[in-house]
Homo-oligomer: A and B are copies of this chain.
Amino acid sequence: MSKQTYIGHRTWAIPGCCIPAESTGDEPVNTSRDEISILNTGGSVVSITITIYYADREPAGPYRISVDAERSRSIRFNDLIDPEAILLQKEFAVLLQSDKPIVVQFNRLDTANGGRNHSTTMAFPIT
């Protein structure tokens, strides 16, 4: 591929999110979090719409974010507050829809009870 080619998919899903409620250690490095990391290899900014699905209420959103050309960006779900904050320690699923191809990874850090416990997976691409 050439420089500034868009790679990946426009739609991604992450069914198993949940913002951990407790943390141990210095902020913000050790703050427990669920987050997404997005790669935009292309030559223009990408615009992304996020919808949050819950178990027992209507979907929330759209949350609107962007990623600049040839940049990566990590977003903690607790920073998504417009149109409404996501509740702590409540399970939810995430749907991302981008106007150009991107790649999306899910990361969790849980520092409750001490250690820095990580888990990660690529988001699921919709074709």
Interface residues of A (CB under 8 A from B): 1, 7-8, 11, 13-17, 20-21, 24-25, 29, 35-41, 53-56, 58-59, 70-74, 89, 91-93, 95, 97, 103-108, 110-122, 124-126
Contact = CB atoms under 8 A, between A and B. Distances in A.
Contact of A117 (B40, B41, B107, B116): B116
Nearest to A89: B29
The residue among A14, A36, A89 with the most chain B CB atoms within 10 A of its own CB is: A14
Q: What number of copies of this chain does the assembly contain?
A: 4
The A interface, classified by DSSP as helix, strand, loop or mixed, is: strand
Contact of A126 (B8, B55, B115): B8
A27 B106 CA distance: 26
